[in-house]
Each structure stands twice: as C-alpha cells, then as structure tokens.
Structure 1
Amino acid sequence: MSEELSGGHTPPHGVKFQHIQNRLQIARWRIDTTVYLLSEGVFSMNKLLFFIMLVVAVTGCSSRKDFYATGGSRADGSIDMAYDFKQFETPIVDINQAKKIANDKCAVWGYERAEAFGGKIVSCEARNGFGDCVAGQTIIKYQCIGNITPSNQAIVSKLPAAMLTPAQYKEMRVKALMDQNLPYSEYQKKYQAIMAE
C-alpha cells in the first residue's frame, strides 16, 4: 500500500474502504437533510449556501501531497524529505515517492540507497489569531546506506592531509568511519566527536 494517512500509519485495504463508505454515508445524510429543510422552507438560498460552505470548511478534505527534499548532508549521508499541509486537510502521501527521491539524491552522492530512520517531525509554519496551526510541514529523515563509490572518493583521499581544507578533512574522516562498519551507537559517538572538532 503506497498511501499513508495523516496518523502516520498505512491502513489495511478494508479499513480504507470502510473510511470512504463512512464519508459517503455522512455526505448522503447531509444532502438528504438539506433537501428536507429546503422543501419545508426552513432554509433560504443564502442560508443553504452558507450551510454548504460551513460543512465543507469543517469537514476538511483529503489532498495528495508530494514530497520534496528540504535538506541534507553528503558528509552525514542524510536527506530530509518533506511535504506541506494546511488546516483542515487530510494529507495523502506516497512514501515510495519520498524513498525514490531520497535514493536518487544518495546515488548522486555515491551511496547505494536510502532508508527512512527515526520518526517524522511535524512543525507549524503559520498560526491564526487563536493559536491554531493553519500551515505546517512534515519532515521524514532518510539515511544514505552503503559506502561511497571509490570514484567519488579518489579525488579527496589522494591529497595529503596538509592540503585539505577543514571541511574536506572532516569529510575524509567521516568516510573512513563509515567504512569501519561499526554498530550504530559507536558510529554516532565517533561521528559526533569528528563534527565537534
């Protein structure tokens, strides 16, 4: 299943179908109620229009969201994939799209592939006067996996350490650290030490 609902989980196919059926039943009820109220003279046309706009605004709508790369680091081998959302939207996202973009970015940097790690970070970009989030962004971090290909490494590693810039020297040390195939916790400690220098 390639779609993920805003709750962060992918529902079984039957659950998604049931969700759609429930929304259709609610919509039918609203239409039947509106037709009845119109026929009884309870609503004027202006009230009907206001009622319809209110129903649409309150219930929100599902919308497909595309991922885009919002940040990353070649030295870290990490890429941040994000999508934006607005108030009352139910974002429908394709995780495979994010993975493909992250894989492509990692391949450009010389890595084999990308894997999602950690959770997702949801941040609010704009709030209304009541403090409600009206626009936000969800970020999913991806880690590039695999050793950087030798062709990309050759240029930097052939230079003597004295001729490297500090950034190139750090990058060379991080690449050497990645080649050691250490457990993740040990890798993180050594990586943090290199970055702190």
Structure 2
Amino acid sequence: MKPKLLATVGLMALVSCVAVNKELVATGGSRADGTVDLSYEQASYETVKTDPARGLSAARDRCVAWGYKDASPFGGESRQCQVSNQYGCSQWLATIRYQCLGNMASVQAK
C-alpha cells in the first residue's frame, strides 16, 4: 500500500471510532395524538451519543405545555437518509418519538 493511501485509511478508521455528542431537537409531533418527535443529524462516519435524560426532559416540557402530565419514549429510533452518494447514505436524520402521558381532556377540565 502507498503511504498516502494507508494514512487516509488510518485516519478514516480513527474518525469512525470517535463518538460525537448530539443534542436532540424538536422536529415534529402532534398535540392531538400526544406525540413529540426529537431528532439529530448523523454523518455516516459518526458514532453518535445522545443524552436520553435531556431528550426525555425536552419531550416532557412539550407535553406539559400541551396539557399532558408526562412523556415516555416509544423505544428505538427511525432513520431517514438525507444525503446519498455513490457509496450510499452519507447523512442521516435520526428521530426518536415520545408519547405524551395523561389524558389531556381531564387535565384541562381541572
């Protein structure tokens, strides 16, 4: 292997091992359905770490503002390719959906 190619492959391997902290941001949801979607973007070479407690807190804040009592993650995440090239997807949008808890109508009636 040529030294330049070897260095490039080594650098790519090193970059792919580094975890990147990402903030979950609100990207959707439905007050009527009691759902909140929080997302982050991920490049194909990134290993992403999110803070589940901060995500739950953000979802809970949105649910409470809508009149619900709490929130809970559905579990798992969905991923959609945002940018693709000849090698596959190079940029993903990962979304975690949360369910608002507590009957909104009973909270508003009180």
Give yes or no for the alignment of 1:58 onto 2:58. no
Q: Which has the higher contact order (CA 8 A, sep 6+)?
A: 2
Q: Name the CA distance, whole Å, in 2 between partners of 1:88 and 1:119.
A: 20
Give yes or no for the alignment of 1:141 onto 2:85. no
Structure number with bigger Rg: 1
In 2 relative to 1, CA 118–92 (structure 1 residues): closer, same or farther, beyond 3 Å? closer
SS class of match (1:57): helix
Aligned to 2:26: 69
Deviation (angstroms), 1:58? 3.0
For 2:92, give the aligned amino acid.
G
Q: Name the CA distance, whole Å, in 1 between partners of 2:10 and 2:75.
A: 37
Matches within 5 A, 1:101-180: 101-130=58-87, 132-148=88-104, 149-150=107-108
Task: Give the structure with the larger strand fraction.
Answer: 2
Deviation (angstroms), 1:123? 1.5
For 2:97, give the aligned amino acid.
K
Q: Name the CA distance, whole Å, in 2 between partners of 1:56 and 1:128.
A: 21
What TM-score, normalized by structure 1, do the two folds share?
Answer: 0.49
Q: Name the CA distance, whole Å, in 2 between partners of 1:114 and 1:52.
A: 47
SS class of match (2:50): strand
Aligned to 2:49: 92
Deviation (angstroms), 1:112? 0.8
How many residue pairs match? The answer is: 105
Deviates more, 1:84-93 or 1:115-124: 115-124
User: Unmatched 5+ residue regions in structure 2?
Assistant: none
Q: Name the CA distance, whole Å, in 2 between partners of 1:52 and 1:114.
A: 47
Q: Percent identity?
A: 32
Task: Give the structure with the larger helix fraction.
Answer: 1
Deviation (angstroms), 1:129? 1.5
Deviation (angstroms), 1:65? 1.0
Matches within 5 A, 1:16-95: 47=3, 51-59=6-14, 60=16, 61-95=18-52
SS class of match (1:119): coil
What TM-score, normalized by structure 2, do the two folds share?
Answer: 0.83
